[in-house]
Amino acid sequence: MTVPPLVTLTLWGVGPGAVVPATLRMARDRRHLRRTPGLRFAKLLGTGDGRTFTVRDADPLHWGLLAVWDEPGAARAFEAGPTQRGWGRIARERLDIALRPVASRGRWSGREPFGDPRPARIEGTVAALTRARIRARSTRAFWGAVPPVSRDLQGVPGLRLAVGVGEAPVGLQGTFSLWDSTEALVDFAHRRAAHARVVARTAAEGWYAEELFARFEVLSVIGTFRGRSPLAEVGP
């Protein structure tokens, strides 16, 4: 599969009074997405804080759409369609992140949505996406392993945004993160002890029925998430 030129992640924030309309949009938009020209792959996502990856983490005030495009013009045309118009009526904030895949391994719903890019070194901001379908027999072990990694992640230098994402509250879990540099991402992924232990257990115990890891060059970040821009300068 060819490497797509553009991947977008949109995160919408709604107020408490719009939780029901947002939930309905998640069902309604599936039909719209199937008819969108130039849309190669798409997933509507719930979000959470990623502390345990159980239903306790769910954030009903933030919702997302990951979209993989055949060409940038299709993404621009999508802005005028029913999905974006519908969310525009209920969302009180929005974050748009434009990405280019630079590494990807694994599958999502049996597909390789980001193709097979040649790993490339990127200067500047990078993003990482992980996604897994957890085997039922491994759920308890997975839940027990997540909290130490989550606590460690919050204090990692170079992290700009980390959000749990999933197609369902339990069993289909993922994370999306923004980093100042490739070095900061690699340091967390391969050198932090808590994360390294979980990676080793994942392989040894076969927790996942399907998994995917992808890395991206960040082309643009526009808007806010939970009231702030992820790339705003961090104060002392």
Q: Look up the CATH number of the domain holding residue 51.
A: 3.30.70.100
Q: For residue 234, what pLDDT is reported?
A: 44
Task: Confirm if 154 and 207 have CB atoms less than 8 A apart.
Answer: no
Is 118 inside any structural domain?
Answer: yes
Is 55 inside any structural domain?
Answer: yes
Is 52 inside any structural domain?
Answer: yes
Is 232 inside any structural domain?
Answer: no
Tell me which residue of 135, 89, 99, 119 sits closest to 218, measured CA to CA. Answer: 99
Is 235 inside any structural domain?
Answer: no
Is 231 inside any structural domain?
Answer: no
Q: For residue 28, what pLDDT is reported?
A: 92
How many structural domains comprise the chain? 1
Range of the domain at 11: 6-223
Q: Which residues make Cβ contacts (< 8 Å) with residue 194, sequence separation at least 6?
A: 148, 149, 151, 152
Is 160 inside any structural domain?
Answer: yes
Q: What is the mean pLDDT of each run of 10 residues along the chain (236 residues)?
A: 93 97 93 95 86 63 97 97 96 98 94 90 91 70 57 75 78 81 83 55 67 94 95 54
